[in-house]
Amino acid sequence: MTRLEKILIETKKQVSIDLPKSKSESIRLLMIYGLAELQLDSERLSESNDTVVFRNLLLQKTNNGEDAGTPYRFYLAFCCLRNIQKTIDCYEGLKKRPIKDLVDALRQLGAKITYTEKEGFPPLRIEEGIDKSKKSVNIKSDISSQYLSAILLIAPYFENGLHIYVEGVAVSKPYIDITLNLMHRYGIQYQKIEETIEVKKGQYRASETFMAESDWSSAAFFYAACAVNQKVSYFFNKLNIKSLQADTITIAYFRHFGVNTIENDKGITIEYDAELYGIQPLAFDVKNCPDMFPALCATVIALGKKAIFINTENLRLKECDRILAMQENTATLKIDFIKENNNIVVDATNVEFPDCLSIKSFDDHRIVMACSLFAYKTTVAIDDGEAVKKSFPEYWKEFEKNG
């Protein structure tokens, strides 16, 4: 350990971060309680805009899913189950995100759905709901796990349960595991054998004790801050190290940047440890954790490193094309983005930061939070800082704790 590293450790301060609750869990909980026709205390849920949008959809306060991908897809399945005949509108960003595989599955189950604008994309019109006597369905889950989760959540309400045959290799598999875990917690039985999931007929039962966990996807941005601003350690209260959330991979991935995770009975502390630093170039598989890419990419760039990102094809189908967004926002920094089949190599070994860096949000909360990391290197001007409300409304308040 060098003398400089010792000084950094000796002068290190600790910051306590209040993370939002998991958006993924919150939306699934709302779906379960909506199907069971039960009230759910909002204090047990995320305060993200996506959660608010979904609650308003379920309460029939709006017919617009805005830019909320998971709520829109889940609500489509909800309406088809309940035979709610309506048009579900959305914002322009969501109109670019495919939904065909879910629509095809719902049509197999008897639903009559039409595309009101572009074939294969929202917005949609539900003309007739599903036939609950159907016994099986085939669904593709190689573009989004949300399609499969939407079908799983309504499956208990079929007259004989539902056999679901999953075609292709499912992406973001941990999100499917979260869905199944919550269904089981709320009283639903299922059996999973290879590519088939058999969901038994049943009713969701209320649980007064369960609360959505703190969000690992949000924690990732402070892991990134710890890797770059090595004088600060961070404390997270109530962050579950054994969570099923996909982005618990944050722990392993950021060890390669020298971030150590320490668990105790009060929570989790993270701090920089130079001895943990990984071998270069780094490699990260983002197939099951696409939300990790912006934070990882920004860390690679801020530290002037090189990394290969594996299985990146679905990054172009999120709130924006996240590869293109990071590439455009760093176009003046002498960064190389090299496409190799479904992989992307990001080479920032020659990075140079200007006096001020202008950042476009691309209406993507994770792009904004990732690029805020560059504030450790230069002045950053972001065109729409409010985009963080989609998942982390208090992000800037927590970010300011860095000083």
Look at 166 and 38; give whichever has higher pLDDT.
166
Per-residue pLDDT, averaged over 180-207, amounts to 93
Mean pLDDT lowest among 171-175, 195-199, 334-338? 171-175
Report pLDDT digits (tens) over 359-399.
999 999 999 999 999 999 999 999 999 999 999 999 999 99
How confident is residue 211, by pLDDT bands cut at 50, 70 and 90? confident
The H or E element spanning position 82 is: helix 69-82
Give the chain's count of helices (H) and strands (E): 13, 17
Domain boundaries, given as residue ranges, for the chain: 3-20+214-402, 23-199
Whether 9 shows a pLDDT value over 70: the answer reads no
User: Which pLDDT score is estimated for 338?
Assistant: 95
Residue 56: predicted pLDDT: 96
- Please report the pLDDT score of residue 319 as a whole number: 84
CA distance 190 to 188: 7
Residue 94 scores a pLDDT above 90: yes
Q: Can you tell me the distance from the alpha carbon of 86 to that of 129, in angstroms, rounded to the nearest whole number?
A: 10
Residues 147-160 have pLDDT tens digits of 999 999 999 999 99
Mean pLDDT of 159-178: 90
Measured at the CA of 47, the angle between CA 373 and CA 227, to 5 degrees, comes to 20
CB 384 within 8 A of CB 365: no
Predicted local distance difference test score (pLDDT) of residue 301 = 97
Q: How far apart are CA 285 and CA 342, in angstroms?
A: 11
Residue 216 clears pLDDT 60, i.e. is over it: yes
Return d(Cα 59, Cα 96) in angstroms, integer: 26
Omega within 30 of 0 (cis) for the link into 123: yes
Do 298 and 224 meet the contact criterion of CB atoms below 8 Å apart? yes
Q: How far does CA 205 lie from the centroid of its chain?
A: 26
Length in residues, the chain:
403
Stretch (H or E) spanning 104: helix 100-108
Indicate if the pLDDT at residue 286 is higher than 60: yes
What does the alpha-carbon distance between residue 306 and residue 346 come to, in Å, rounded to a whole number? 6
Of 266-275, 300-309, 389-398, least confident by mean pLDDT is: 266-275
E strands present in 218-353:
232-237, 259-264, 267-272, 282-285, 306-310, 336-340, 343-347
Which tokens sit at 279? 């071998």
Give the three-class secondary structure for 119.
coil
Residue 252 has pLDDT above 70, yes or no: yes
What's the pLDDT band for 318 if we cut at 50, 70, 90? confident
Residue 281 pLDDT more than 80? no
pTM summary value: 0.90
Tell me the CATH class for 23-199.
Answer: alpha beta
According to the model, what pLDDT value does residue 141 have?
A: 84
Check residues 258 and 170 and name the one with the higher pLDDT. Answer: 258
Measured distance CA(18)–CA(222) in Å, rounded: 11
| 314 bridge partner residues | none
Residue 5 scores a pLDDT above 50 = no
Quick check: 235 pLDDT over 60? yes
Q: Which of 272, 210, 263 is nearest to 239 (CA)?
A: 263
Confidence of residue 13 (pLDDT cuts 50, 70, 90): confident
Q: In the predicted model, what is the mean pLDDT of residues 342-349?
A: 94
Model confidence at 278, pLDDT cuts 50, 70, 90, reads low
Q: What single-letter amino acid sits at 252?
A: A
CA 200 to chain centre: 28
Contact between 128 and 85 under an 8 Å Cβ cutoff? The reply is yes
**Considering the chain, what is the average pLDDT of its residues?**
92
C-alpha 307/C-alpha 220 separation (Å) is 17
Share of the chain above pLDDT 70, in %: 96
**Please, what is the Cα angle at 27 between 35 and 48, to 5 degrees?**
140
Residue 11 pLDDT greater than 80, yes or no: no
Rounded percentage of the chain residues whose pLDDT exceeds 90: 81
Instruction: Find residue 74's DSSP bridge partners.
Output: none
**Angle, alpha carbons 186-30-179 (nearest 5°):** 55
Which of 104 and 39 is assigned the larger pLDDT? Answer: 104
Backbone φ and ψ of 185, nearest 5°: -60, -35
CATH annotation of 3-20+214-402:
3.65.10.10
- Would you state the pLDDT for residue 345? 96
